Structure 1
Amino acid sequence: MPVRPLGQKTIGVLGGCSNVATAEYYRFLNAGVNERLGGWEIAETLIAGMNFGNIEAFVRQDDWDGLEAYTRTKIEGLVAGGAEVLLCVSNTLHKPLEILMTNIAVPMIHIADPTGQAMSDAGLKKVALFGTRPVMQMSYLKDRFRESFGVETISPTEEEQDDIDRIIFNELVKNVMTKESKARYLEIAERMHHEEGAEGLILGCTEIFLLIDQPDMSHLPMFNTAKLHCEAAIDFALKET
């Protein structure tokens, strides 16, 4: 019998962005630990659940300084609570976090890194990127994919970005999945594959996999940032020191 309490590192989850994604992270983390350890084992976690209404307002107003200040207090709470590694459940929020985390002693697993590694391992060089408008338009994730993993990312057209972003904020973060929205996402992915040479698709919003996932388009590799992120956290948490 193992000595109790069974040791593993505590994963601090910066959540609420959205609550839907946060619930999926908790499910992925616990299921992943149980799959590896068996029995009744699940992950050691601390969750700071932010108000998504605040997040939405900061992002819509392009107020990254306000967003950084708001998230800093939550991260400090996780660290004070004993978190030994940090995850943020949002691709979008990694923009302010990249600067903020330079002053935090506890390591953060950047959401781009497990996905970048998976794409590199698959030998891909050019992939489509779906996400919120900041994720698709700004360079903070694209640069990391290119500089650290040699993968170039391409974004949908402006019109397509409008549809992708609208569906995320009006539907997916509220756990609403429709056939029409699914068909639109798949249509955009198919066009980018055939017309722009996309070799894969990054599901660069942590709710997207609930709408489309690999079985919907078997010929185009999809990279679920949420699941890959959680798997990397489990590796860290269970690694013997």
Structure 2
Amino acid sequence: MMRPTKMKTIGILGGMSNQATSEYYRMINELVNQRLGGWEIGETLIQGLNFGNIEYYVRNGLWDEARTYIEAKAKGAELAGADMLICVSNTMHCVLDNIDSVVSIPFIHISDPTGQAIKNAGLTKVGILGTKPVMQASYIKDRFEKKFGIEVISPNESEQISVDKIIFDELVKGKTSTESKQAYVSVCENLLLKGAQGIILGCTEIFLLLKPEDLPQAPLFNTTELHAKAAVDLALA
């Protein structure tokens, strides 16, 4: 093998949360090693954001401020040498709709590898778990529908509050509990009763709590894992 190994540097907009960021880094390196063997891992550049800022913007609906903050970090990642860009948060994709006009490097939208996986599975209607913006707003759902022909349905209002609270109070801090797992399973079961054929784990920490064996009657689509794989595919192309 020629040295240095030829691959693209994956720019990671991280810190949203640090739990998700560390999982992305682990997955990317494991996937590269599976492909190339030996001691090979990915070439990455992590542009970490302060989750305290993100949490404040999201809680207060300050999306213009969030856009300015994250776009500056994206530019910084490109200037630092990233050849491509991913963002480790489903929620923050709501302010990345114009990212192609901000950076000149390829950007992999988190919904696209998940939408392709759902389409490949032959499903047309799925439920989604995530933060309140992901479950309530249209920016994720519309992309699934327009690009992949997939209908996405959300939990009811009280369930959304519970799902969101568990993310912010527990998962982003690396905490999991049996009670929270059961709460998520119940929400998923209700979505299946509404016609969902599978469930999108539309927050990049949810897979730390909810596993495929917890809901054997329907497939779970792990946005974190699918996104990391898409990044590696491009990095090694």
TM over 0.5: yes
Shorter-chain TM-score bucket reads over 0.9
The equivalent of 2:216 in structure 1 is: 218
SS at match of 2:96: helix
User: 1:25-174 alignment to 2 at 5 Å?
Assistant: 25-174=24-173
The equivalent of 1:204 in structure 2 is: 202
- Partner Cα separation in structure 1 for residue 92 and residue 152 of structure 2: 19
Shift of 1:101: 3.1
More divergent stretch after superposition (92-101 vs 159-168):
92-101
The alignment yields a C-alpha RMSD, in angstroms, of 0.7
TM-score under structure 2 length normalisation: 0.99
- Partner Cα separation in structure 2 for residue 21 and residue 7 of structure 1: 26
Q: How many residues align?
A: 237
AA at the equivalent of 1:210 = L
TM-score under structure 1 length normalisation: 0.97
The equivalent of 2:191 in structure 1 is: 192
SS at match of 1:93: helix
1:147-178 alpha-carbon deviations (Å, 9 max, x no partner): 00010000000000000000000000000000
1:161-200 alpha-carbon deviations (Å, 9 max, x no partner): 0000000000000000000000000011011112x01100
- Partner Cα separation in structure 1 for residue 99 and residue 78 of structure 2: 13
- Partner Cα separation in structure 2 for residue 99 and residue 62 of structure 1: 18
Contact 1:68 1:100 in 2 (8 A): no
Identity %: 54
**Structure 2 regions of 5+ residues with no counterpart?**
none
SS at match of 2:100: helix
Contact 2:127 2:196 in 1 (8 A): yes
Runs of 4+ in 1 over 6 A off after TM superposition: none
AA at the equivalent of 1:172 = L
**Structure 1 regions of 5+ residues with no counterpart?**
none
Shift of 1:102: 2.6
- Partner Cα separation in structure 2 for residue 111 and residue 3 of structure 1: 32
Contact 2:75 2:102 in 1 (8 A): no
Shift of 1:217: 1.2
AA at the equivalent of 1:216 = D
- Partner Cα separation in structure 1 for residue 225 and residue 101 of structure 2: 25
